[in-house]
Every structure is written in C-alpha cells, then in structure tokens.
Homo-oligomer: A and B are copies of this chain.
Amino acid sequence: MSFTPEKMAPLKACRLGIDTHHEPTLYLRADSPICRSEGFESLSRILVNCQGRHIIASLNMVSSDLLEPDQAGFSESAWQRLELHANAEVWLSHPRPVQSLSYVRAKVYGHELDALQLQSIVNDIVEGRYADVHLAAFITACGDDALSDSEITALTDAMVKAGSRIDWGLEQVIDKHCVGGLPGNRTTPIVVSILTACGLTVPKTSSRAITSPAGTADTMETLTDVSLTLEQMRRVVRDQGGCLAWGGSVRLSPADDLLIQVERALDIDSEGQLIASVLSKKLAAGATHVLIDIPVGPSAKVRSQAAADRLARSFKVVASNLGLELDVLMTDGSQPVGRGIGPALEARDILAVLKNKPDAPTDLRERAILIAGAMLDMVGAAESGQGQARAREVLDSGAAWDKFHAICDAQGGLRVPPVAPYRYALVAPHACTVMGVDNRQLAKIAKLAGAPADPAAGIELHVKIGDRVEQYQPLLTIHAENAGELNYAVDYLTDHKLVLTLSDEACETTP
C-alpha cells in the first residue's frame, strides 16, 4: 500500500525548465521537512500526485536556492505528464515496490516467464514505474534469443493490450515491415503509394530510428506531418486508403516507444523484442496481413541465411499464435539501397523514384516493386505471380506519385526536405573497383553527422559494389547541419577507412 496523500502537506509545483528527456525528474530541497520525514534521497523513486493524475519520478536533491523548502521542482517531461501549472498543490509519497521487477530478475536468471508476468512488466513500464536502468536490464535480459516463441507471443499480446487498438472494420488491412540494418532502403513510402493506388487499405504507422540513421517516420517527417492523432489518421485512411504516420503519436503499443528509447542508448535490439515490437505495432494498428522484409548480408542486421530462416520462423509462429497472416521476403542486404542515408537524403531518393526521374536510384525502385509485388500477390490483388508487373505499371504511370502527393496533402501538405549546409566528400585515392560496403560503419558515420535528429544530416553514397571509379572521383559525401558534427563524422571516417573496400591496384584503363 502506498500512502494516502492526506498524511502529508502538499508542496507547490515549480517549473524548472530542465529537459531530462522521457525520464521524469523531481527536484526537492535537501533540507525540506518532507525529505527528512519521508526519508527521501537522491535517485529515490517518488510517487507524485496532483489532481487525480500521478507519475513516478526520480528525485534529485537541491542544495542551492533554486527552490524554496515548500516547493517541488519538475523537469519538462514530469511537468507535461502531470499537466501542472505554477504553484499547483502536489503530494509526494513512496510508490509501492515494483513487483514485476522480480520477473525481470527471474528472466536474467534464465527462467521462462508466463503471460501474466509479462503483462505485469509491460503495464508497469507503461505506467512509468521503471527507471531507465530497469528498462536496460529488461532489454538486456531478453537479448540473444532469451525469449521463447510463447514468451514473444505473450509479450506481443501484452504490448498490444497496454495501448490503443484500431479496428478498421475491414477484411483486409495490409502492412509491411523491414527488419532493417540496411542504410537507405526507404521503400515504405513508395510501396504504400503503389498499394493504395491499387485500391488496398494500408494505414501505415512507422517508428523513428532505433539504432539506424533514419526510420520511415523520420524520413516522412521531412516531407509532411507525421504526428497524426487517431482521428486524423482515420480521416486520411478513409479518404486516401492509406497514410504514412508516426506510430508514437497514436499510442499504439506505448511500451514499445519507451523500450525503444533505451534500446537506442544501448544500441541493442534483441530478436524477441524485435518481433514483439513489430507485431504489437501491426496488431494495434489493426493489420490483418503483414509482409516482413529481411535483408540478409554480411554487415546487415541479419548476417546469414540461417539466422534469417530462424527469425522468419519465429515471426511466422508468433503471428500465427496471434491470428495474423504473415509472409516473409528475404532480400539482398549486401549494401545500402538508394543513394541517401539520413532522413532528408532518403526523402530525395523517394521523390525521384515516385516522379520517375531519369536519375532515380534503380535499386530503390526495383526493391520497392519487388516488395509491393509480393504484397499484391499475398492478398490476391494481382493474378498469381503478376504482383510485380502490376506494381511497375502503377509506378510507371505516375499513379503512385499522384497517390503519394494526395496522402501528403491529406496529412498537412507536401514539404521540401531540408538541405545540409556543411559537406565533406570522400574521393577515391586512386582508380579502382568498389569491392565491398560496410553497412554498420556507414550507419555509424551518418549518425555521427547528426542523423536522425538533424534531418538534413547523413551520407550520400555515390557508388555501388562493383562500380569502377577514377582517381579523385567522389565515393561518398557526408552532410551535416553544423560544423561540429561534420568534423566529428569526418574524424571517425578518417579512422575507419574500411567503410568502403576498394581494390588495391588501379583498375585497367577503360578502352
């Protein structure tokens, strides 16, 4: 039992204007009576009540005049979640011990968790009872295939139940997901445009980047509004058949949004949590049919055919347990798809493909057609095996571009992606052939340059594996929004030359 608020005098809320990101923080004077009477210390977890709303916040003690003894200071996230106003009366108390942390510990020690235990973990996460270190422990404990298929099923189901779920009242609602690890490869906006132009319903919600330089939501945000409310999303889908929204703003699987923040800091996302993350979002968004794209390559997220087969099998088992139709498509993951890596640079590639521009990246165009074709085949929207032909036709005719434009207009208008003012070009030291591309190093450099937080930042890759280049021909260009991050990315590139493998000798002179 936690305290009833009546036992203590309230404090006056004070907005300190400190941004602690998603972890709500409370500030109290160390010499305030409440700290003595309640035994609060720095980093204690405190239950804060105000007019029927409550959060659990981490406490930072203040020994200066920043606050009066009867004031409680709040970080921005705490202020907003409690919907406070200056001098609002707030009550502080000890939260109940978080029972579900014992299940996290059980998982660390290798025990199988049941559905109730996983639901309890997910509910406590959504209610803000987990500090970041607890989220980090849960994520790590679930790493390296530590979750069985039935645990992944239960975790997925728990994540769906902890948020909103959309019912479209339709027999077929289709969706796709790429497990990633391949920079660029921004097929989703093209695929959604093709499928909706074919009359299918594709209410696409995408995430922001977890460990990559851009997620589809980051890229789409450089082209239109993606922070749609559920009502706005319903209207866009009703009018256009599809949308390209950010999943985080519609509270679909909110546990996933919290876990992803810490996964990003750790640069870890495990197979079990990957599947639960993806499928919980799809189920919550009301999808009935889902295509999973798994790029396979030596420096992609999935590095071998065996690993891809294992992941595909788990995806299918969990989807089937939860009544979802799911197909898997394995694709070439040996190098980036398209030229741009980073939100705005990828947006530029998408526009070029949709507008059928002569310099549009062929590999991105073909990858989008492959995926859209498989999805048309999957739901029977094309004669068997004719999906790709149908997709190509819709793209070539300009119908996909018209549909994309219409969706962006419905979401608030088509925008021009920003352009980065700071650039650095890496040129070939000698004439040679490009032998290999390290996807991970490319992603790292694009992130160091500022992507995805700086939308114009990233990398423009000018070559593909097998390309022959002359001496001083540009291989890639780093884009940044400020000099500091450009220098930072260039320093890293200078230290990690193997981002591109070039043949040693100058190649033969072209005849």
Where the two chains meet, the residues of A that have a C-beta atom closer than 8 Å to any C-beta of B are: 1, 3, 7-8, 15-21, 27, 30, 36-39, 41-43, 60-66, 75-76, 93-94, 97, 101, 105, 108-110, 131-137, 139-141, 143-144, 262, 265-268, 270, 444, 448, 450, 453-454, 480-485, 487-488, 491-492, 494-495
Contact = CB atoms under 8 A, between A and B. Distances in A.
Contacts of A109: 143-144
B63 A453 contact: no
Given A17-B64, A43-B21, A37 B267 contact: no
30 contacts: A1-B494, A1-B495, A3-B484, A3-B488, A15-B64, A16-B64, A17-B62, A17-B63, A17-B64, A17-B66, A18-B27, A19-B30, A38-B484, A39-B480, A41-B453, A43-B265, A93-B484, A94-B488, A97-B444, A101-B266, A105-B266, A108-B140, A108-B268, A109-B144, A132-B133, A134-B266, A136-B137, A136-B140, A140-B140, A140-B141
A39 B137 contact: no
Given A136-B136, A481-B39, A484-B94, A268 B105 contact: yes
A266 B62 CA distance: 25
Contact of A39 (B110, B265, B266, B454): B454
Contacts of A17: 62-66
A85 to B, nearest CB: 15
A484 B39 contact: yes
Nearest to A485: B39
A483 B140 contact: no
Given A27-B18, A36-B482, A483-B37, A66 B64 contact: no
The 7 closest A-B pairs by CB, nearest first: A17-B64, A38-B484, A136-B136, A140-B140, A108-B143, A133-B136, A19-B61
Contact of A140 (B18, B19, B60, B137): B137
A58 B392 CA distance: 49
Nearest to A270: B108
B133 A266 contact: yes
A221 B501 CA distance: 61
Contact of A262 (B8, B75, B133): B133
Contacts of A450: 39
Q: Is the interface of A mostly helix, strand, loop or mixed?
A: mixed
Nearest to A34: B484
A208 to B, nearest CB: 14
Given A39-B453, A63-B76, 9 more contacts: A1-B494, A19-B30, A39-B454, A93-B484, A97-B444, A101-B267, A108-B140, A110-B144, A131-B265
Nearest to A447: B97
Given A137-B140, A140-B140, A485 B38 contact: yes
Given A140-B140, A143-B108, A20 B39 contact: no
Given A66-B18, A109-B143, A133 B265 contact: yes
A442 B199 CA distance: 64
A24 to B, nearest CB: 12
A458 to B, nearest CB: 13
Contacts of A43: 20-21, 265
A421 to B, nearest CB: 12
Contacts of A267: 101, 105
